[in-house]
Structure 1
Amino acid sequence: MADVWGSIVNVTEASYRIYYFLSSTTMPLFICTSPGCKESAVRRYGSCRICKGYLCVKHVDQKFHRCPNWQKREEVSAYKAQQALAEIAEITALLSRVNVGALCARAATLRNVACNVNLDHSLKNRLSVIGGFNYHVPLTFADGVAWICRIRQNNITSTPTAHTNSLILSEVATYRFLASKTKIPVPAVHDFAIDSPVNTVGVGYILMDQLPGTPLTEHILTEEQKRRVMEQMSDVYAQLSQHPFSKIGCLLNPEDLTAVGPVLEESTVDADADGNLLLLGPFESAREYRVALIQHQLDLILRRESYIKNRIDAHLIHRWLLDDVLERFSEPGPFYLKHMDDKGDHILVNAAFDIVGIIDWEWAQTTTPAEAFGAPVYLLDHPRFYSGDNNLGDDEVAFARLLAARGEAELAGFVNGGRVQHRLAHCITGGEPGNFEVLQTDFISLLRIILPPTEAPITWDQWRAGAWERYAQDPQLQRLL
């Protein structure tokens, strides 16, 4: 049995050709499904779970796309109702692929204890075990031990199977690294398999411990409780800082925890003319990493897959980032592992606010120390941050002080200077993909940090006028026009 499961891991390279670069033959990740249309589908906003369609910049418009629009007040109720029905259909289809007998037998064999798999199709149970991108099937052993089977959701918004398989391998490798190299509390991984013809369970999965505790975001914390959590997170930062890497990218090999592969962040995924997956990286320098991300975003804008309502302004911003902003950053290696979705629900706490687990490492990657050790997103004062205010919030300041108090002055410095990293990351990869208003705020706020007061633009219109003059003859801008 072990040999069969080993072959499931190896089938990744046998079945999928994964390229770690972008080529001139890059093709749209998805094609518009409107009858007779062959244009690029818009990333994320062009994927409709209700009608199960991919839509281009033309057909995503309400004149052609008749599904309820969540942005229109009068259609919100209809949107929610139809979206819920679509979700039920998606999960039912996903769970119908699960071979419960094979899964139960696999788990029972691993522990030599009888096991029960609770594949409950009821709506109430679905909503209790579904995550942002995954579904968690509970497994209970005869001796009371509880595991979960983490299965990647599969719907119209999902990336190709080769990418989701890579995410499984990366998450397993990351958990194994953390469990073997640090004392950071993470669930133990007992088994995994990618989605492939030799996987008898029927779907890609990870079998792991079911941790106790509830997500931090479900609590309203007192100041003392905040401090307790931050003290523990300062220890997490200190531990991660002891493990440098030579490249920027994701851990991808569960058998080689030092190997860094390409970046797996969803917005960076592409395909070539033959449908093969294209990924960016790994990178040996921060500049190489950021240049690749910006150039890819420029390509998506040109192909009408991103920022479809503000393509020209989004293009100007990314050209400016490429030509003027990156040169102001000098960040040599080494690089460090970062949880890339640190909005708070990844931290599980008990009643005493002890951290019992940090989960959801599927997007984790190595990056610059300044980015890796800036304040996590859940500590930001969100109203101030998203309004363009660059001052640190009270929780960020308190976290920096805790790090300094434990002798981690360098890590404290990264938190104190973290606003520039938050702004830069949001500008490059899109804090909210395709949302130009967010990009515009982040960009102007970034310029106000990195430019001297005499050079920083006061308004968006002032900067835009200068950018138009600078790039008037840019060939890509002419194509957009």
Structure 2
Amino acid sequence: MKKDKVYSFAKFNLDALLSLSEKLRGRPCTCDVSQMPKSGSLNWVIFISFDDGLEWVFRSPRDGFHSFYSNETSSKILASEASTLMYLNTHTSVPVPEVYSYSESSDNEIGVPYILQSKASGRSLASYNWSGLPDEEVQVSGIHHPPPLALSDKDREKVMSQLGAIMSELSDHPFEKIGSLFSDDGAGGYNIGECLSISLTWQDRDSLEERDRGPFHEERSYLESLISAFTMHAKELPLAPHIFTAPVPDEQDYQSRSSLRAAGGRWNNFVAIGAKIDSGKNRLLYCIAGQFLREMIPHLLSGLSSFTLSHPDLHLGNIYVDDDFNITSIIDWSSSSSGPITELLATPPLASSAEPAAEFLVAAFRSGFRQRGSRIVPDPTHAHLWEISERLWYFTRLVRLLSKNDYDHFRRLFELVYKTSADEAGDGRGLLWLFHERASRDENKALLAELQEEDMTREELEKEERARFPPSRTVDSDVLAVARKLTLMSEMNPLFFADHRLWKWVEEARQTDGPL
């Protein structure tokens, strides 16, 4: 028999779920078994409908698709998220879903870990054209997708001002430790436990040995732990697609999609030669970045001894608004934790994890925070905390490996911390020269030798190269020659950097002069 779509992601006891829902609300409910669950990277979702038209949301962790963390960590994150939502509903006016029931394990009548919660009203900001750039109707896999809804700058400012006020309210509920929130079973209270921050758990980081997830009693220990997780990731876990001196081509740097596709192909060919991404040389650069980040810690400390909850992944899809752009709900508090207030003060860019928010949106966010006021911040207009929040925005994206261009984030952080141009670093030779000098230290030479023990052998590299560039294909022989020449240049020049300028130059050179 054909399986109903509602069971596409997991086998569970739907009758038990409906029975629980009816018991909790005291009204009959149904579930359309033909509905395809909505899904993201971490969870799948179905909807329960009551006889009066009200709907509830049933969420369960997604299994076997993207392995972000272990099942043990997944259970802890679910329990913490449920606790965080219940805390916010009880102690604040922050609009979040109401939790009716949850189970962090499959040891229940429904048969899967879950959160049963209210459904957000309104529509998500992802339905709107937040960037303001022209957007046309598109068709993906034969499915028609209408263009996003229009959004004015005034609407954007209204949303950002509300977010600032929400962060201000969160700052009025401080904690003495940095970590994730858990409820005291049966006691009605809450406590701060180990920190389940994305930086410490995602991308298999929870599998790293000697990791410290707290809880932390001071900012410095917390920041040191984030840097340690970043450095251990660089040493032991896959880095794809991150390569410090060759960022992934980004569409904002190209005038046409054909140029972007060409640059992407050349980037792929270049990093394939010598398996550059997971090479000891690339791993060393990230380890050195971690060394520099440790030296920046004094410039990242707020000096405050209390800590605040913040949303770990605030993007357009997690914010719901009504027709007048009043925020009705903020969803998905998975991996949330308390932390330095400067994390709370960092303006969320919403549309992109790689680029900071526009200046007028930063102003609206800060205005919303100031107008509401805050008890934990002695002076909300104090420039020092806002400056640190800007530094911390780049810092967190670096240690989480959220960007396609880690070097650019490091460069911007360096300039904010040391208030100097990155081009003037290293006696005027730039940041890459500083990395080159740091790599020549004895301890880093030893580290490189250790990291290179895991590199592919020459025979393995040649086999990979033959598979990628078959000698029978003449078109590939040309792109192979380009990739090899660029690789040779990168080995000879410690200041070599393969960004959009290089790929555009290659494209222009091939158009005017033919093969390189």
* TM-score for the superposition, normalised by structure 1: 0.70
Q: Which amino acid aligns with 1:180?
A: T
Q: Equivalent residue for 2:300?
A: 329
Q: Secondary structure at the residue paired with 1:345?
A: helix
User: Is 1:303–2:303 an aligned residue pair?
Assistant: no
Q: 1:120 to 1:353 in 2, by over 3 A?
A: same
The runs of 5 or more residues in structure 2 that have no matched partner are 130-150, 243-277, 453-516
The equivalent residue for 1:154 is 63
Aligned counterparts of 1:117 and 1:91: Cα–Cα separation in 2: 9
Could you tell me how far apart the structure 2 residues matched to 1:420 and 1:271 are? 23
Match of 2:395 in 1: 424
Does residue 365 (structure 1) correspond to residue 327 (structure 2)? The answer is no
8 Å CA contact 1:397–1:416 kept in 2: the answer is: no
Relative distance call for 1:428 and 1:112 in structure 2 (3 A) is same
Q: Deviations over 1:77-100 (max 9, x none)?
A: xxxxxxxxxxx99985533x1111
> Structure 2 vs 1, CA of residues 299 and 182 (structure 1 numbering), >3 Å: closer, same or farther?
same
Correspondence for 1:118: 32
What is the match of residue 174 of structure 1?
84
Question: Structure 1: which amino acid aligns with 2:155?
Answer: Q
Q: Quick one: distance in 2 between partners of 1:254 and 1:133?
A: 26
Q: Say if 1:263 and 1:377 are closer, same or farther in 2 by CA, change over 3 A.
A: farther
Query: Does structure 1 residue 237 correspond to structure 2 residue 237?
Result: no
Shift of 1:454: 7.7
Q: Deviations over 1:272-320 (max 9, x none)?
A: 99x9997611111111112122223322322243352521211111122
SS in 2 for 1:94: coil
Whether 2:18 is the aligned partner of 1:104: answer: yes
Matched residue, 1:143: 52
Counterparts of 1:140 and 1:277 in 2: how far apart (Å)?
46
Residue in structure 1 matched with residue 411 of structure 2 by the alignment: 444
Quote the offset at 1:476 in angstroms: 3.0
Letter aligned with residue 339 of structure 1: H
* Structure 2 CA distance for partners of 1:465 and 1:473, relative to 1, 3 Å: closer
CA 1:475/1:167 → structure 2, altered by over 3 Å: closer, same or farther?
same
- 8 Å Cα contact 1:241/1:336 also seen in 2: yes
Listed as ranges, the gaps of 5+ residues in structure 1 are: 1-87, 386-390
Structure 1 residue 355, shift from structure 2 partner: 1.0
Structure 1 or 2, whichever has the larger Rg, is: 2
- Superposed CA deviations along residues 61-83 of structure 1, whole A, max 9, x for unmatched, are xxxxxxxxxxxxxxxxxxxxxxx
With 468-477 and 218-227 compared, the bigger mean Cα shift is at 468-477
Distance 1:272 1:183, change over 3 A: closer
CA distance 1:325–1:191, change in 2 (3 Å): same
SS in 1 for 2:100: strand
Once the two structures are aligned, what percentage of the paired residues are identical?
Answer: 22
Tell me if 1:207 matches 2:116: yes
Partner residue, 2:223 = 290
Q: Name the structure 1 match of 2:183.
A: 253
**Structure 1 residues 166 and 236 mapped into 2: Cα distance closer, same or farther (>3 Å)?**
same
Q: Where do residues 409-420 of structure 1 align in structure 2 (5 Å cutoff)?
A: 410=380, 413=383, 414-415=385-386, 417-420=388-391
Verify the 8 A CA contact 2:29 2:48 in the aligned structure 1: yes
Decide whether aligned partners of structure 1 residues 445 and 276 sit closer, same or farther in structure 2, where only a CA change above 3 A counts. Answer: closer
The residue identity in structure 1 corresponding to 2:283 is R
**Contact 1:264–1:363 (CA under 8 A) maintained in structure 2:** yes
Matches of 1:271 and 1:229 in 2, distance apart?
A: 34
Which of 341, 356, 371 is matched with 2:313 structurally? 341
Work out which of the residue numbers 101, 111, 120 in structure 2 matches 1:191.
101
* CA deviation after TM superposition for structure 1 residue 403, in Å: 3.3
Q: 1:465 to 1:276 in 2, by over 3 A?
A: closer
Match of 1:76 in 2: none
Q: Structure 1 residue 223 and structure 2 residue 136: aligned?
A: no
Aligned twin of 1:401:
367
- 1:27 maps to which residue? none
Corresponding residue for 2:197?
A: 265
Give the counterpart letter for 1:263 in structure 2: C
2:183–2:191 CA contact under 8 A, matched in 1: yes
SS at match of 1:422: helix
Q: Contact 1:119–1:137 (CA<8 Å) still a contact in 2?
A: no
Alpha-carbon shift at residue 394 of structure 1 (Å): 2.3
Hey, what does 1:22 align to over in structure 2? none
Q: Could you state the TM-score of these two structures normalised by the residue count of structure 2?
A: 0.66
Note the C-alpha offset of 1:252: 2.6
Give the stretch that moved more between structures: 168-177 or 416-425: 416-425
Q: Cα 1:114–1:303, aligned 2, differ >3 Å: closer, same or farther?
A: same
The 3-state SS of whatever aligns with 1:357 is strand
Q: 1:396 is matched by which residue type in structure 2?
A: V
